[in-house]
Structure 1
Amino acid sequence: MNKVKLNYITKRLIFERKQLIDLLPEKFKKQFEEQSYIAGGCIYSIYQCQEPKDYDFFLKDESFVRELREHFLDESGYHGKEISGGVYRGYPLTITENAISIGKYQIITRWIGQPEEVVKEFDFKHLQFYHAGNEIETVTQFDFLDSKELKYNEDRARDICGSVFRSSKFVARGMKISQKEMAKMLLRLQKVGFSDKEVETLIACKEKSETDHFGS
């Protein structure tokens, strides 16, 4: 664990949080600052000296999530069955079942709760880090920030099919996954079965062009 890198990540995430808060309406700013935390892949990316593609913000209160969602739906230029959006203060705005995306900032609306509750269910160990106050915290071990090996979180209770899909994305970024870790995912999938949404996703992937990558 490199403490210099962790200090840099903390400063970077404080900056990114401020950037997003500045984009929010005044009535939401204080509550967002108190209720939000950053978690997931952006922490690992910065630690590995890679620029994050996006920043995932999570919230602790479901009623506040509903308020934000209603506000940004009202701001949307178009409304679709699964996706709404448009342009918000010069940034692309996209609203789905899972998140409100404003440029590179994603406010996750599907998973809500305290950091420890939410992060412990992330599917890979290198993602199980979060920033909620003044430092980077984790529900696993800090050694996973240094690792290039994908390690599956067997306690994950949701979206197992999605984990299989995401593994190819991480491999494309230079990580490795062993047969043992892949077996863990497949055995977990056997145990919980496919959800209706996962079946829809698999059918959609089957119908994609042969040039499309598995994890796209």
Structure 2
Amino acid sequence: MLLNKAKLNYISNRLIFERQQLIDLLPEKFKKQFEQLAYIAGGCIYSLYQSQEPKDYDFFLMDESFVKDLRRHFLEEESGYHGKDISGGTYHGYPLTITENAISIGRYQIITRWIGQPEEVVKEFDFKHLQFYCAGNEIETVTQFDFLDSKELKYNEDRARDICGSVFRSNKFVSRGMKISQKEMAKMLLRLKNVGFSEKEVETLIACKDKTETDHFGS
């Protein structure tokens, strides 16, 4: 693949801008650490390369104690309501949602479930087109840059978690115009067979089965 360097440079600048936007929203006591410890990864990079506006931006952090401090602050100081699985309210005029997985401020998501260095976290993303990140001023990857320009879903067979979720997430990408071959679907199902269902995955499957509406896979 011949990389579109101008597009990659635009994406880098855009992510630097979005990162600063979020930093500006944070309490002063967290700004410096966030700037040092946060990186952007996942689908927003693919979307921008495909000239699509991202639905959201996922920020990951390298330090668990900092994540705990952020969660504690937003739960205790900023949240207007507290539920069993979800809390939130409004923060600086943006919707605030706090779950087990993330702190969401408008279109910015601070992921609190998976913490670590970029290479450690990104290598377990379930599809190859998501395995890109920006920790400094450049786009980097743990796979090949070719996947930024591909419409074919390619499963990451090294993924160690939430295989059932990967099967369901395939539907989302197919609905956005991507394609998945029987070979790639077989990889997921075989991986699921080898790993087995977690208790949480069984709960998810039961909940989906009981839904009145039905989400369809594309042909």
TM bucket (normalised to shorter chain) is over 0.9
- What residue in structure 2 maps to residue 28 of structure 1? 30
Cα deviation digits, residues 36-92 of structure 1 (max 9, x gap)? 000000000000001100000000000000000000001101001100000011000
Give the partner amino acid of 2:56. D
| Inter-partner Cα distance in structure 2 for 1:9 and 1:163 | 26
- Choose the corresponding residue for 1:71, options 70, 73, 79: 73
The answer as to whether partners of 1:165 and 1:214 remain within 8 angstroms in 2 is: no
Q: Which runs of 4+ in 1 moved over 4 A?
A: none
In 2, Cα distance between equivalents of 1:202 and 1:57: 28
| Offset of residue 212 of structure 1 | 3.3
Q: CA deviation at 1:2?
A: 1.1
Alignment partner, residue 173 of structure 2: 170
Counterpart pick for 2:57 among 46, 55, 58 = 55
The correspondence for 1:159, drawn from 152, 158, 162, is 162
Letter in 2 for 1:62: E
Q: Distance in 1 between matches of 2:7 and 2:162?
A: 31
RMSD: 0.8
TM-score, normalized by length of structure 1? 0.98
2:4 alignment counterpart:
2
Alignment of structure 1 residues 192-203 onto 2, 5 Å = 192-203=195-206
| CA offset digits 1:112-151 (Å, max 9, x no partner) | 0000000000000000000000100000000000000000
**Of 27, 37, 47, the match for 1:45:** 47
- The percent identity for this pair of structures is 85
| TM-score between both structures, scaled by the size of structure 2 | 0.96
* Unaligned 5+ runs, structure 2: none
Query: Which AA in structure 1 matches 2:146?
Result: D
Paired residues, number: 214
Alignment partner, residue 103 of structure 1? 106
Aligned equivalent of 1:94: 97
Q: 3-state SS of the aligned residue for 2:40?
A: strand
124 and 103 in structure 1: CA distance in 2 versus 1, 3 angstrom threshold: same
Where does structure 1 lack aligned partners over 5 or more consecutive residues? none
